[in-house]
Amino acid sequence: MIDLSRHRCVLFDVDGTIAETEGHAHLPAFNRALAEAGLPWRWSRDDYASLLKTAGGLERLLRFAQESGLDADAMYDTLAQVHKSKNRHFAAILEEGAVPPREGFVELIGELTASGIAWGVVTTTSRSNWNALWTYSLLPHGLPEPAVIVCGEDVSAKKPDPEAYEAALRRLEMPPQRCCAIEDSRNGLLAARLAGLEVAIVKSEFFADEKFNEAALVVDELTQLLSSGAAKLSA
């Protein structure tokens, strides 16, 4: 069990946690960018599920090149441009309204806010991706802005390294005991736990079968974290 009311800030991962962006936006955006660059790669859902074990879009492209027997270092500039184009396609997909927030997210932020509990974002995705999700999928719901936002550009090491969570705690000027994290992947779980945070896992389409033994709570949907569900938010 996890009691969100014991915390002063709840830190959310983004992809898969706030919205199911991986299969509905990131994967098609990668394939559009690869085609645009004239590269023959097209990733299936199975390909992408495997690549998601590596945090970071550019890192996935480099890994795929290496596993394909190519010189990833020699392709770095090309793949960096593919990644940049992928983020542009990602924003375009979100602008079309293709990816709503996960069921219960808007209501959960409402309950946190009403209880005087802040919320933040700790992700190692690109800031442009977060901005697109915020602009097209979240802001229309009238949500208050996060108290802290940490993105991939803000850290040198991505999840499961705890650097992103440690950066968020410094910016909030809070000890880990006053915050908790909501994640969907084992990499995210490990990152938050290494930073000293209590963690709730919400299962997502690509990471549902991972092991979450270190989590305080594992749920299928964010609705189970509402006051009417598994966790109390009363102050």
Q: What is the mean predicted confidence (pLDDT) over 65-74?
A: 97
3, 15, 184, 209: which one is catalytic?
Answer: 15
Residue 3 falls in the annotated catalytic set: no
What domains does the chain contain, in order, with CATH numbers? 4-20+101-225 (3.40.50.1000), 22-95 (1.10.150.240)
Both ends of the chain: CA-CA distance in Å? 17
Report the pLDDT value the prediction gives residue 232, as an integer from 0 to 100: 42
pLDDT digits (tens, 9 = 90+) for 107-166: 999 999 999 999 999 999 999 999 999 999 999 999 999 999 999 999 999 999 999 999
Statement: residue 62 has pLDDT above 80: yes
Q: Nearest to residue 165, comparing CAs of 129, 191, 199?
A: 191
How far apart (Å, rounded) are the C-alpha atoms in residues 134 and 144?
11
Q: Nearest to residue 214, comparing CAs of 197, 193, 195, 188?
A: 193
Q: Are 104 and 226 contacting, i.e. CB atoms less than 8 angstroms apart? A: yes
Binned at pLDDT 50, 70 and 90, residue 1 comes out as low
DSSP 8-state assignment for residue 100:
P
pLDDT digits (tens, 9 = 90+) for 45-56: 999 999 998 988
Report the pLDDT value the prediction gives residue 55, as an integer from 0 to 100: 85
pLDDT digits (tens, 9 = 90+) for 77-95: 999 999 999 999 999 999 9
How far apart (Å, rounded) are the C-alpha atoms in residues 56 and 213?
24
Q: What is the mean predicted confidence (pLDDT) over 183-209?
A: 97
Judged by DSSP in three states, 96 sits in: coil
Residue 73 falls in the annotated catalytic set: no
